[in-house]
Structure 1
Amino acid sequence: MSAGKVQWILLFVHLFVIPASAQQNPRPVSMNKVELGFKLDERGVARYAVSFDGRQVVSASRLGFKVKEGFVLDSNFKILKTELSSADETWKPVLGEVSSIRNNYKQLKVFLQQKEAPFLLMNIVFRVFAEGVGFRYEFPIQPSLRFFVVENELTEFNLTGDHKTFWIPGDYDSNEYLYTTSKLSEINAWKFPMLSFGRKEENMPDQHAVQTPLMMKTAEGLYLNIHEAALVNYSSMQLHVDKANYSLTASLVPDAAGNKGYLRTPANTPWRTIIVSDKAPDILNSKMILNLNEPSRIGDVSWIRPMKFMGVWWEMQIGKTSWNYTDNIDSLSANGTLVGNGRHAANTANVKRYIDFASKNGIEGLLVEGWNTGWEEWTGVYKEENFDYVTPYPDFDLEEINRYAKQKNVKMIMHNETGASAANYDRRLDTAFRLMNRYGYPAVKTGYVGKITPVGEHHDGQWMINQYIRSAEVAAKHKVMIDMHEPVRPTGLHRTWPNFVASEAGRGNEWNAFSEGSPPEHETILPFTRLMGGPMDYTPGIFKLRGYAAADPKRQMHTTLAKQLALYVTMYSPLQMAADLPENYERYPDAFQFIRDVALDWDDTKVIEAEPGDYLTIARKEKAKPNWFIGAITDENSRESTVKLDFLDRDTKYDAMIYADADKADWQTNPEAYQIRKMTVDRNTVLKLKLAKGGGAAVSIVPVK
């Protein structure tokens, strides 16, 4: 029996086929408070609209395509037939925020044909959920449309006002910008210096383009999120903003030739997703994007499991040591070997020091970056052959390190930085993963920093979308979990490939090491934006919050220490890093205990309170155990979070360990001040968690023994 069939616990489907004339538009389809309308107008243009609780969310908006073969599938359509169906199933994710997910929707499929030769066919499939709508285009097999090139997707999202918007620029090669909160009409993607390598004309040509997931709030208090699901064999969707009309149009990332996609019938696009509610927590609770992805393609999933790990990583980020072995690859010693710079972090003795700390503290894994040859010159330039993924530097004893780690019961995590030469990585995938299998690596972190090779391709274009999936497929074949850095932002594919356990695809904690950092509100926005599509490897757990950067002694994190702990709960990932140096954790062993204790895989998740850009409090129940963990974070303002513990079991007493900001804690002036207190609680207890400016609180709750 396949993994997909194992996951399907309950399935209930109705199918109604309704013949239709060109003038016969289907009736609206509704679930709970969400309603979808579809019609062909007098010119045969397909349009849809979405409302919530009787309030229009997306007004009549165009659907259609331009195909480079000279066809325009945007008008002159007639309806051949419609199909209305429904489904109600429950499935179990391999890893996740909840133990089971209900997939309940009504589906409307509209079969369209153009009324003039060559009578092209296009279907539009809508799925209406209690929290929103997903839709995609399908191109059936037909005589006049086989292989074709997408010139433009004409999908519109016509909004109803100048909404408050949380956005980052539409850069084809980077998702790592700071979020701006502004009105829709005030969006200007060129207000930021470009982060990606290359020219603005190539990577960010549209001044009014933004990335998805795009989070918005209307003046009437509706929360609205637009993204996509199941991005496979297609270019990622950005959104062009028509500021005068409050309209968004799909803007696909082009390839080196300027094309937006190459398809062969039968084909379909990713799902375009609209999630809406009058309550912010409902946005975070939605599993619609996951539900629009295909079930797992992996049969045996027993090797896929959550992991905590440390990394020989942060010390390079802060400038203490280096990834590269030498500072000048042209500088050779008399015997023809590289001359080391004396600052290379991935040396045997240093790695053993991390292994010792991880082993002592029950941290299962260790990532080592900069272990392999090729780091001296690779970023910002096109270089086809940069890494071979198997050759260590002279001071990294691969055999000895793996022997020592095994002796200490620590799993080594592989690092494969591609330097953006994805073509080179493609050729070497099996070689790289065979090395991991040889030494028993359970997971790999990949990276794509730089200009993509093949030359002219973009991180978010169709070629790279397929490369990320190929990497996950090969990883699955070798039973290795994969964590991708610098990829496209996720779209729920961790349902289909559950070994795709995490990715970066956003502005992570590392930006506090080598830039001005991220403001305190940043982590309250990310769950409503970047994390809507999947887990994020944010690398929390920094304890030395000031004076850590060699390049700038005044640089500091924009959080308190207690907030760094809370991020393990609020920033979901089944692969979590204890990101700081061992010596910094040794300064605060009582606070480090929370990192040791916190779970990574969950039976249940409760979003207690949330407001994008302001605050977030989440409670999660550990998988197959009675333990709960709470994370509460705030922006630059101090506040009190009230948490009712009515989700706890009846007639059970619990020990709650509360890791909180100290009375005078402040992210700017006193960030490392924290306090720990223990109390007995039950389901009638109400916790009052005081959060400092830029602060947070973390709570572990376990039954009294």
Structure 2
Amino acid sequence: MNKQFYLTLFLCLFGCLVQAQTLKSPNGDFTLEVELREGRPYYKLDYKGKAVIKPSGMGFELKDQADMMDGFEILNEETSSNDDSWEPLWGEYKEIQNKYNELLLTLGQQGEEDRKLHIRFRLFDDGLGFRYEFPKQENLNYFIITEEHTEFHLAGDHKAFWIPGDYDTNEYFYTTSKLSEVDGKMEKATHTVHAQHPIETLAVQTPLMLKSDNGLYINIHEAALINYPAMQLNLDPSDFKLSSHLVPDAVGNKGYLQTEALTPWRTVIVSDKATDILASTLILNLNEPTAYEDVSWIKPVKYIGMWWELFVPQGKTWAYSDATNLKLEDDFSQLEPSGRHGATNENVKMYLDFAAEHGFDAVLVEGWNIGWEDWFGEWKEDVFDFVTPYPDFDVEEMQQYAESKGVRLMMHHETSGSVSNYERRLDRAFQFMQDHGYNSVKTGYVGKIIPRGEHHDGQWMVNHYIHVARRAADYGIMINSHEAVRPTGLHRTFPNWLAQESARGTEFEAMGGLTPEHTTILPFTRMMGGPMDYTPGIFQTDLSYYDENSDGRVNTTLVKQLAYYVTIYSPLQMAADLPSNYERFLDAFQFIKDVALDWDETHFLEAEPGDYVTIARKAKGKDEWFIGSVTDENEREATVDFSFLPQGRTFTATIYADGDDASYDENPQSYTITEMEVTSETTLTQKVARGGGLAISVK
């Protein structure tokens, strides 16, 4: 080898070293390295000396323009630090610390393109967030993204808790497997779900939860999803490499941007403790504070509803009649009623009476408005008008009755996926709500999206959900969205967007059931992005109670349903069962009445994804604590360490526990209620049944 070779090698190595940048987290546990390789940006992430993300590429493919994949050089770098705190309007904590170190790289593509790209990295004590920023510039103004190429090159064949990649639904069962096993399990995992659109490549959805063989817990998701499609993850199982896969629109493009523009943050949360993953506030911190000037009207809501009886065997129906082929302009008062309609004046009054007696804020009523006869699966444009009631539901009478009881009615807007129709009617629908005393609405997006060809998780729909939240705020209305894109912490920016479903929730217990482990996985996956309206509180779990020919079952014990009010966080919580079932178990129902909706503190006591979760929370502004513990299909002992209580004081704990003979499949309604005195020195060990739970109130 000659001197010229060594000189070339030295210059190459020296150039690579010059281009490499390093950033540490405030506590020093994380090390981020960023470098250019042949002009393409790469990043890698270590935690306590262990590899989390191996060198992973970044960049974009653009339509009808040169790609922004390589040819870059570093034009500038800026580092900074932040350490402050903020108070959520509502949430799991009274105050959240926002502490990070930041690296902002300015990259330039020279030559004919002469374009700039910023990549902003924020390294917290619980993980990494980074996003792309396209500054305003002469050679890049309007542009179309055909794909984002952000990689997450994992360090091994981790255990993964995943659902299949899909453009339109996240209502799948979770599968637990090694990354190398995902391909072999994908066909079974992609079971039939309404309006699904599975991705043709091998892909999974975020939030993705992983556990490495060397004891690291890793969560990959995104934050602040605005004006951009949701990110799915392609999987290369041979190399354990994940790469971004954006949801396309009707013509196959991914995103339409105009500089100045930002992408959502890509997030990697890591710890050697599972409880630290649940405690992370990284995603919230990466979202912007709200711009609302008045937030006094936004309040947590505990509600019941004319809902579960629409799902149980021999239950009620949304539709007023059995007629078909109807149009909105038809005279629905001339239809022959089926006799099974649920949203009648008489039935809703019963719910309002129950809500008033037991201190609930609101009553949800589904199926009150015309159109339900023809709503499902027809890809029909004008299904609902959101203002015209059925003949047996008197809006004015129900408003007056609710006001006399001190209870609100909660509106329901099912769009049937006809989003263009909903947007045309949105202001009229919100004005109707305001005129009739409604201040909250459950929105639904069941079905294929209209405009036809758009997807639930594409850029157009992402912008729609935000538009609804913003417009609702103009009318003083709070939003609970179902079948929407999974959350990314936007409830900080739009605090009237209280909750979402965006996962397989309780209604599926009446449509094939859920596995007992499902709700031990949700806190590590779907709920990393925000609160979930899971609709808990089902006491009558054996559905043959309604029809002896039914073999349906809610796969929990009664006490596990109580525990959900703590383990599945939401400021909007439903007691979902029929009032008549609660009247049979009033002593257990007391926990649902007592449990808070808003919190000063949250303590994650023990957790393992897919196995168990135990959480304690302190009620906002009160010396009251509530504890929930849930397990999978295996019996276990929950350990509750009360060290979170103030020292030197004694409290009374009311313990709702599975009975000795309880199990989710044989004796789900067996429970005990006991009291004991507790202090900060107390540790309680309590048996939890198969598919069971534990709920404790401390006062």
TM-score range, shorter chain: over 0.9
Structure 2 CA distance for aligned equivalents of residues 111 and 89 of structure 1: 26
2:5 is matched with none
2:465 paired with 1:468:
yes
1:435 aligned onto 2:432: yes
2:237 equivalent in structure 1: 243
Task: Look up the equivalent residue of 1:276 and give its one-letter code.
Answer: V
The answer to whether structure 1 residue 346 and structure 2 residue 338 are counterparts is: no
Q: Describe the SS at the equivalent of 1:258.
A: coil
Q: Return 21-30 or 137-146, whichever deviates more.
A: 21-30
Counterpart of 1:157 (choices 148, 152, 163) is 152
**Which residue does the alignment assign to 2:522?**
526
> Of 429, 438, 444, which aligns to 1:447?
444
Is 1:324 equivalent to 2:324 in the alignment? no
User: Does residue 580 in structure 1 map to residue 577 in structure 2?
Assistant: yes
How far apart are the structure 2 equivalents of 1:462 and 1:358? 39
Q: Tell me which stretches of 4 or more aligned residues in structure 1 moved more than 6 Å.
A: 20-23, 331-336
The corresponding residue for 2:422 is 425
Paired letter, 1:341: S
Is 1:210 matched up with 2:204?
A: yes
- The 8 Å contact of residues 196 and 450 in structure 1, kept in 2 or not, is answered as no
- Root mean square deviation of aligned Cα: 1.7
Give 3-state SS (helix, strand or coil) of 2:364's partner: strand
CA deviation after TM superposition for structure 1 residue 206, in Å: 2.3
Q: What residue in structure 2 maps to residue 278 of structure 1?
A: 272
Deviation at 1:35, TM superposition (A): 1.2
- Cα separation, partners in 2 of 1:176 and 1:531, compared to 1, 3 Å: same
Deviations along 1:177-196, one digit per CA (max 9) or x if unpaired, are: 00000000111333235444
The question of whether the paired residues in 1 share the 8 Å contact of 2:332 and 2:370 is answered with: no
How far 1:329 sits from its partner (Å)?
A: 3.1
Cα deviation, residue 335, structure 1:
10
- Among 85, 110, 129, the residue aligned to 2:105: 110
Residue pair 2:395, 2:436 contacting (<8 A) in 1 also: no
Q: 1:90 aligned to 2:85?
A: yes
Instruction: Say if 2:567 and 2:615, in contact at 8 Å, map to a contact too.
Output: yes
Q: Equivalent of 1:40, from 36, 41, 44?
A: 36
- The code of the aligned residue for 2:304 comes to M
Classify 1:336/1:492 alpha carbon distance in 2 versus 1 (closer, same or farther; 3 Å): closer
Deviations 1:570-621 (A, max 9, x none): 0000000000001000000000000000001000000000000000100000
Aligned residues: 678
Q: Secondary structure at the match of 1:501?
A: strand
From 598, 608, 614, the equivalent of 1:611 is: 608
- Residue in 2 aligned with 1:142? 137
Structure 1 position 402, deviation (Å)? 1.0
Name the residue aligned to 1:7: none
Of 374, 394, 397, which aligns to 2:394?
A: 397
Matched, 1:301 2:270: no
The one of 651, 667, 682 equivalent to 2:664 is 667
Following superposition, the deviation at residue 227 of structure 1 comes to 0.2
Q: Is the counterpart of residue 568 in structure 1 residue 562 in structure 2? A: no
Q: 1:690, CA displacement in angstroms?
A: 1.2
Note the 1:48-63 alignment, pairs <5 A. Answer: 48-63=43-58
Find the counterpart in structure 2 of residue 191 from structure 1: 188
In structure 2, the CA distance between the partners of 1:331 and 1:532, relative to structure 1 (3 Å rule), is closer
Residues 1:121 and 2:116 aligned together: yes
What is the alpha-carbon distance in structure 1 between the residues aligned to residue 128 and residue 200 of structure 2? 27
The answer as to 2:697 corresponding to 1:697 is no
The one-letter amino acid of 1:49's match is K
Deviations 1:599-658 (A, max 9, x none): 010000000000000001000000000100000111111111111211111222211110
Structure 2 unaligned spans of 5+: 1-13
User: 1 CA distance for matches of 2:223 and 2:551?
Assistant: 42
| 1:342-380 residue CA offsets vs partner (Å, 9 max, x unmatched) | 100000000001111111111111000000011111222
Aligned twin of 2:19? 25
Q: Distance in 2 between matches of 1:193 and 1:161?
A: 25
Per the alignment, do residues 28 and 541 of structure 1 end up closer, same or farther by CA in structure 2, a change over 3 Å counting?
Answer: same
Letter of the structure 1 residue corresponding to residue 531 of structure 2: P
CA contact (8 A) 2:162 2:205 kept: yes
Question: Is the CA contact (8 Å cut-off) linking 2:175 and 2:189 kept in structure 1?
Answer: no
Give CA-to-partner distance per residue, 1:42-92, whole Å, 9 cap, x none.
x11100000000111000000000000221111111110001011111000
Which consecutive residues of structure 1, in runs of 5 or more, have no partner in the other structure? 1-19
Relative to 1, partners in 2 of residues 1:36 and 1:329: Cα closer, same or farther, differing over 3 Å? same
Q: Which residue of 2 aligns with 1:179?
A: 174
Deviation of 1:301 after TM superposition, in Å, equals 1.0
Q: 2: distance between equivalents of 1:364 and 1:139?
A: 45
Q: Deviations over 1:284-303 (max 9, x none)?
A: 00000000000012111111
Post-superposition CA distance 1:244-286 (Å, at most 9, x none): 0100010000000000010000111100000000000000000
Structure 2 residue matching 1:73: 3-state secondary structure: coil
2:10 counterpart residue number: none
Q: Quick check: 1:318–1:514 contact (8 Å CA) kept in 2?
A: no
1-structure distance, mates of 2:331, 2:461: 42
Write the letter of the residue equivalent to 2:23: V
- Partner of residue 638, structure 1: 635
Per the alignment, residue 265 of structure 1 pairs with: 259
Please report how far the alpha carbon of residue 552 of structure 1 lies from its aligned counterpart in structure 2 after TM superposition. 5.5
Is 1:307–1:364's contact at 8 Å kept on the other side of the alignment?
Answer: yes
**Counterpart of 2:7?**
none
Change (3 A) 1:48 1:331: closer
Cα distance in structure 2, aligned partners of 1:579 and 1:335:
29
Q: Look up the equivalent residue of 1:57 and give its one-letter code.
A: V
Alpha-carbon distance in structure 1 between the residues aligned to 2:656 and 2:693: 9
Structure 1 match to 2:551: 554
Q: Which residue of 1 aligns with 2:8?
A: none
2:284 corresponds to 1:287: no
- Indicate conservation of the 8 Å contact 2:321/2:338, yes or no: yes
CA distance in 2, matches of 1:195, 1:474: 34
1:475 deviation in Å? 1.0
Aligned-pair identity in percent equals 54
Q: TM-score, normalised by structure 1?
A: 0.94
| Residue type of the alignment partner of 2:121 | F
Query: C-alpha offsets along residues 532-585 of structure 1, whole Å, 9 cap, x if unaligned?
Result: 000000000000010256596221111000000000000000000000001000
Give me the whole-angstrom Cα distance separating, in 2, the residues matched to 1:600 and 1:625: 12
Asked if residue 411 in structure 1 is aligned to residue 408 in structure 2, the reply is yes
**Structure 2 CA distance, aligned partners of 1:678 and 1:118?**
72
**Whole-Å separation in 1 of the counterparts to 2:332 and 2:690:** 57
Secondary structure at the counterpart of residue 374 of structure 2: coil
Structure 1 position 143, deviation (Å)? 1.5
Identify if the C-alpha distance between structure 1 residues 76 and 339 changes in structure 2 by more than 3 Å, giving closer, same or farther. same
CA distance in 2, matches of 1:627, 1:103: 27
| Offset of residue 334 of structure 1 | 11
Does structure 1 retain, via aligned residues, the 8 Å contact 2:46–2:52?
yes
2:204 is aligned with what amino acid?
A: V
CA distance in 2, matches of 1:664, 1:96: 36
Q: Which residue of 2 aligns with 1:652?
A: 649
TM-score computed with the length of structure 2 as normaliser: 0.95
- Residues 4-15 of structure 1: matches in 2 within 5 Å? none
Mapped partners of 1:335, 1:298: distance in 2: 40
Q: Report the Cα distance in structure 2 between the residues aligned to 1:71 and 1:378, rounded to whole angstroms.
A: 45
Change (3 A) 1:263 1:150: same
CA contact (8 A) 1:331 1:338 kept: no
The CA distance in 2 between the partners of 1:685 and 1:142, in whole Å, is 62
Aligned to 2:645, the other structure's residue is in SS state: coil
